[in-house]
Structure 1
Amino acid sequence: MSGKNQHVVPHGDDWAVRGAGNSRVTSVHETQREAIERGREIAQNQGSELLIHGENGRIRERDSHGHDPFPPKG
């Protein structure tokens, strides 16, 4: 069973990791790099996807840790 996708998002002057659909953040970090590292750990443990947002809030990168089909479709 897959866990919730994890989002790395701007959080004031910091960066946060937030599970999809959660109103509260899981953790707050001083740098985006630290937030990505923590978000990646959570996504790997849950077999979910990590979505990294830029400063403008738009998704700029995705990193999947779930059960992707092989070969990929498309």
Structure 2
Amino acid sequence: MPWDATDYPDSLKNLDTTIRKKAIEIANAMIEEGFKEDQAIPIATEQAKEWYANANNKEINQMKNKTNKSLRERDEKEEDFNSRPETLEKGEHVYPHDNGWAVQVEDAKQPAFVFNNKHDAIDRAREIAQKKETHLVIHKADGSIQEKQSYDEK
């Protein structure tokens, strides 16, 4: 069951409200990706504190104003890497999946998206990699690497 601002782990109770909401958002995303609660909570707490230390006033106010519903339900428009800062430097992979073609960030436990066709998966992965200024790895149907593209602007 996803957490929200009124129902969350006891270990988050002493956090500032904004940091707590960010930790809840991150932990919910991690659990959705397959992490266990006892793994997600401490990681989400540390990442939320780090996010708060680096966030601007607009980002802090947006988090402060998040509703319980928005904390529980992941917005399909929201990029996965917004709530998972550790994925910002990792590339995107497109690979065959039981239900079509998957887009998955490097080292993630499960795909962020699954598309019926490879072209749509590549388009989405490319968009994410370009925004994050990382790289894209496209796999063939047999799992071998077909192509690599770098979007590193540094």
TM-score interval, normalised by the smaller of the two chains = 0.7 to 0.9
Structure 1 gaps, min length 5: 69-74
Distance (whole Å) between structure 2 residues aligned to residue 15 and residue 35 of structure 1: 6
1:57 has 2:143 as partner: yes
RMSD across aligned positions (CA) = 1.3
Counterpart amino acid of residue 30 in structure 1: N
Distance (whole Å) between structure 2 residues aligned to residue 55 and residue 16 of structure 1: 11
Counterpart amino acid of residue 24 in structure 1: Q
| Structure showing greater Rg | 2
Distance (whole Å) between structure 2 residues aligned to residue 58 and residue 7 of structure 1: 12
Higher strand share: 1
Q: Report how many residues are paired.
A: 67
Higher helix share: 2
Counterpart amino acid of residue 31 in structure 1: N
Which residue in the other structure is 1:21 paired with?
A: 107
Which residue in the other structure is 2:131 paired with?
A: 45
Structure 2 gaps, min length 5: 1-87
Identity fraction in percent = 36
